Structure 1
Amino acid sequence: MQDKKPEEKKRIYSSMFVKMFIAFILIGLIPLLLTGQILYMRLSSSVEEVMISNASQMAVNMGKNVSDLIGKYDDITQSLYDYTSDDYLYFYELLDDTELEEEERERQITNILYNIMNMDRSIQNVRFIYDKIYNVSRDSTKNMDIRKVLDAQWKPREEDLNSLYIMPTHSESNYYYNSEEKVFTMARNYMDVSTMRTAGSRRMGTLYVDFDPSELEILEEGMDMGEDSEVVVADAKDGTVIYSRDSEKVTQKNQSISGILEALEGESGVYRTEDSIYAYCSVENTDWKVLASISRQNIEGMYMDSGRFVLGMLGAAVLILVAFYGFSRYTSRPVRTLKDAMEKMQKGELDTRVDIRSHDEIQVLGEGFNEMADHLQQYIDQVYVAELRQKDAELAALKSTIKPHYLYNTLEVIRMTAISENAEKASRLIDSLSKQLRYLIGNESDQVTLKEELENIREYFYIVKVRYENLYDLEMDVPADCLHLKVLKLILQPAIENAVKHGLRPKKGAGKVRISVLRRSGCLCITVMDDGVGMPEEKVQEITDLLGKDTIGSRKGETISIGIKNTYDRIVKNYGNSYGFQITSCENLGTIVEYTLPVLEE
């Protein structure tokens, strides 16, 4: 028992299923886990770095977009210098024309302002302050408060307006009665460019263009860094928030933003606080700064996401392992079935077969195994038959070693003794037996004449008649021209024996065996017929089927005699498959054995 356990363990570890499972773990699962661990370590070490790099790039992009937008708006505010019409080459001519009716001047200036407003969809209002205020707006319901417009509290200084002046996002309530909309304003003085001297000294008016802050929101689209993170545009001079997604911060001076702006060094960089990290850059030609903030909570969230990613990989690996285990068990089941069948075959269970329907190479192997088992069964049956025949041959060889003359002389002495004592019947029986022995072992040739074969049958049947008190008769109908033809020795003997044993004896009454010979269609036809009990049709079919097989004897319930089978095989072996005999029978009427042999002249 102890010796079997190591052997069983060895068999388990050497199975294909275990090898596939181990190979999957070594080649697939472990590399997957190592890759996940390395990826997690790299992500963990570079999350903050990557987020800061992304935020810096976003700040730079936002700064560039804002700078480009300001450049576009700068061009719009200078469009008055490009004005020309049929009546005036320059805008200042329109303003200085003293002969022009004020109403016409107002109409033309208003048209010019409308043209400016239509240059960009983000322009909400355009005002030009000369000796009076000219105003156009996309919303015609707005009512301008002239007093507030002229209020110096929100207006920039005159000297600041000689170039583009940007007024941070503010409420339209600064100069409209009924509007709280947010805008940011671009302002510029219009100078008299009629001469070089006046171009630098004479201000003719100031252009104010109000823009929708949502234009800045468009610039921020696609720059999502997560919750609690944002992009802010602020004025570094006073800390005013120019743009933020949080509208409440806009136009106000945010203390935290102001503190950060004061601490910033250089045009761009990174600034860290306890709660956030800021990537910043300057907007070209302005005092504005773009701040892209990253919440430390977002960074921690990224770490958590990395951890969940690794845990997910581990969970997926476990699920894959379980799935592979089940799949391997399922796919290796036909292999195990085939292995078990081979082990049974090794133990001698030759009727073992497998039923594998996997529709793959294993099914082909299973079909091959079944075919091999069938061939092996047939081969063993053939070997069994060969062994029986070998034993018959050895018995015949043993018989041939007995001194024939000694047997003949002994039988002759017995016969003469019976004659001297007037036992004629005993003398005749001994004579018949002597002739049969001489026929059986005295002639070494396997071929005899039909006459010799029939004479041996007569001697055999004489003994049968004496034994059964003349209850059975033998009749022969043989043409004289057939007696010299060659046949196999003892070819008729088994049929006569079966006729007596299985046909006449069970009848329990008189009976007859008839032998008839004739030539037909180039063949020698010999018929052995009895009027015994006969056989059922199923039995005749069973005998006929067994004659065509390589199995003989009474294995598995077969009742056909070895002699009948050997006789049939001898005929086929010597003359070919075209020759043999056929058995027909009818219950209570008798049995007929019809031989078909070649015509062999002596």
Structure 2
Amino acid sequence: MTQMKRRLLLRNFLTFLLPTLIPVLLLGTLSSVIIQQYVKSNIQTESSNILNQTKSNVELILNELDSLNVYFMTNAVEFVRLKALLQKPKFELDDYAALATIKNYIDAPAMARPFIDSIYIYLDNDKKQFITSSSGGFERVDSYYDDGWYQSYLDHNEPNLIWTEMRSVKKSTFSVTDTQLITIYRKLSLSSQEDGVIVLNIDPKYIENLFHPLSTLQNQQIFIISRDGQILANSGNSSFPQAADAAALASVPYGSIYRSDSGMEPLYVFKAHSDKYGWTFYSTVPRRTLYSAPNTLTNITLGVILISLLIGTTITFMLNRKNRNDLRHIVNILQLAQQGKPLPEPPEQVKDVYSYITHGILTKFIEQHYLTAMLSERKQRARVMELQALQAQLNPHFLFNTLETLSWKVVSLTGKPNEANRMIDNLAKILRYALDGNPKNAILQKEIKFTQSYIDIQKVQYKDKFDVQWAYSPDVLKYNVPKLLLQPLIENSLYHGIKEKEGPCKIKVKIRKSGDELIVTVLDNGIGMSREKLREVETQLRQQAQDNDALQASHIGLSNTHKRLVITYGENYGLIIRSKTHWGTVVRCRIPI
């Protein structure tokens, strides 16, 4: 008994907890994986869009350098004049006008563009003079507060015409702090030799301010690294990236994880490169950002599982105690039944499965003898049906042999085939057609053939009283129709319409195809029916179609045919009758094909 209790407890535990825990565990795991993939894809898409937008904005800023270069390259006179002015020891009046023109061209973008700190134009000259947007005229390199760019120009021996560097400049001798500038160099040349350089100094804070509205992800960092590995602009306030990081990031594939030697958390790295300026735009996102939502979902899932365990365990112990009491009650009932003692009353209200089982056991004791009697009765019915089936196999065989004997007897009496002999042969054909093969359906061609045999029999009786006309196209003969469909309709026309009318009459059978149906119409010009009689016949057809007993109607042929059509094809199919006194009757039906 103790082992049974343990088994029952384990079964209840699994029954209540597994259906709860498995869906929660599967749903939580699947959701975590899907969300992780979605977040990663979203980060890649957003980072790519941000980098492309940043690249476009920065390159648009740097186009000012191209404008200055194009100006001097396309205005050779201005270029030569500026170079001559830089060499002159003393200016004339026209020289001041020319200087003002050139100065205005470089001052305009420097004043209109807040991101431009200053612009220098230097053409090789012995005095080392250059023109700048920061002052009113020429400046000498050796006496100007910013001379670092000149040494960079002299040291640059690489073939690329544009290069960038990050510089610190003290704008005056009184400045305490240095000013950080992004300096972009563009060599000038009208011939094969280098003639000078355009220096564009940009405030990096302006570019960094462009990054802030673009950083949509948590702890996302955007920065730019030059071709030489210098960090030009950075949206973050952290010490990352360092120079060592800049060199290492160049080899990190797009969308991969980078682990810094400084001990920072792993980062997803996305980048876009500007071939024109040699800048690389980076976007980094901490890996924990990717796993933030999945980790939260995992914690929620674990919490739900823990709560489910607590609730399920409590319910399991409560249910197990109740089931033990119910099981003890069932065992008591079985013991009383075996001992032949009175059984307890069944519960008035079934509340749970064990009460239902107990009630079922009591019910089975009561119904046992009744079921035994029912089984015996069904066996008896099966034997009777078997005997009827064997008898039904003998009846058609007996009828065919009898008709054949009668036919030969008539021939022997008359000495030759005669009208009676032909009637018997037609009757045998109809009987064989009705009983052989498929008991329900036959092709229309065969149906018409054996209906004609019935007409030939009636012609002997009625002589020239009626004539049958057929109207159909050959293409309808291949379709299946219910067996003995036409014979009852023609019989109805004979016995209820033509028989009681004086003079010759006609029966017309029309068969046509309409869509996916055959329309069969039998018309006669017999005595017809009054409205009251027609209403009575229609009522009989409806009643007989709903009655499962034997047909007991005056128009038994119509009733039989109508009921067979309704049973075979449904309530929407059946016979439609139209009739008028002294005019005749029309019977129509539809057959699906």
Q: TM-score, normalised by structure 2?
A: 0.37
Q: TM-score, normalised by structure 1?
A: 0.37
Larger Rg: 1
